[in-house]
Amino acid sequence: MNFRTLLFFFILIPIMFFGILYALLLNIINPTGDSFHKIAAWWGRFSAKLFGISIEVTGSENYSPEQNYLVISNHAGMADIPLLLGTMNLNLRFLAKEELGKIPLFGRALKQAGYVMIKRGQNREALKSLFAASEVLKSGRSVHIFPEGTRSATGELLPFKRGAFLVAQQGDAPVLPVTIIGSNLITPKNSLKINKGKIRIIIDKPLKPSQFNSVNELMAASSEVIRTNFNRYRNN
């Protein structure tokens, strides 16, 4: 634990609490969840400023705010979600682990806003969640999934799972590959420390599922894009 951890508990958590209450009200007025997303995006930008995190974005020209995408990225830190929400100019929803949906008020706000809760593992309930995510895509919103399935403890890339790419295929949306570098140093796994620093976000050109013969080919191509950018930019 350090000074920034105290800022998290004594400043960010209270702001989140009142923000969630406000979001629950907005979700009643606007059940699309679009108003909730605007609050979440502001929260992401505020969090970065509060903790002294600088963000360098490369490739913003590779996507259109008017288009919806299945956004995929590597996952190396707890900061990934708020930073992506605050950085990407998309009406974005996340595929979140089931445990988050059980948190009082917070879980309810997420579900009302169109976030999809998923059980870990390959089972029927997980498959239902993936199809629910594809319906969010069909509604015109973008969806983000971490295809690694969990955070990397070292920051190195983990193998991708094919579920995310089934969502893109079923939702008939392009896959937008995003590479995140440095977030494992901001919020290390199994630690309460929050460090200031720099994060790089590299957005590559979207990949259309129709251009590939199978979900596995789409997954392999997406993984290669992220791996190539990771190796190219990690030491720059």
pLDDT, one tens digit per residue, over 134-168 is 999 999 999 999 999 888 888 889 999 999 999 99
Bridge-based pairing state of the strands 175-181 and 197-203 = antiparallel
Q: Which residues of the chain have pLDDT under 70?
A: 120-122
pTM of the model: 0.93
End-to-end CA distance of the chain: 29
Query: Per residue in 67-94, pLDDT tens?
Result: 999 999 999 888 899 999 999 999 999 9
Q: Quick one: pLDDT at residue 125?
A: 73
Q: CA gyration radius for the chain?
A: 17
Q: Quick one: pLDDT at residue 99?
A: 87
Q: What fold does the segment set 3-233 form as a domain?
A: Glycerol-3-phosphate (1)-acyltransferase (3.40.1130)
Q: Quick one: pLDDT at residue 76?
A: 85
Distance CA 231, CA 32 (A): 38
Residue 207 per-residue DSSP state: B
Three-state secondary structure call for residue 154: coil
- Is the Cα torsion angle 120, 125, 128, 133 positive or negative in sign? negative
Q: Quick one: pLDDT at residue 119?
A: 76
Quickly list H helices, 88-123: 106-112
Q: Which contiguous run of DSSP H or E holds residue 97?
A: strand 92-97
CB 202 within 8 A of CB 218: no
Q: Quick one: pLDDT at residue 121?
A: 62
Q: Which contiguous run of DSSP H or E holds residue 228?
A: helix 215-233
Residue 68 CB contacts under 8 Å (≥ 6 apart), including other chains:
90, 91, 137, 140, 141, 142, 173
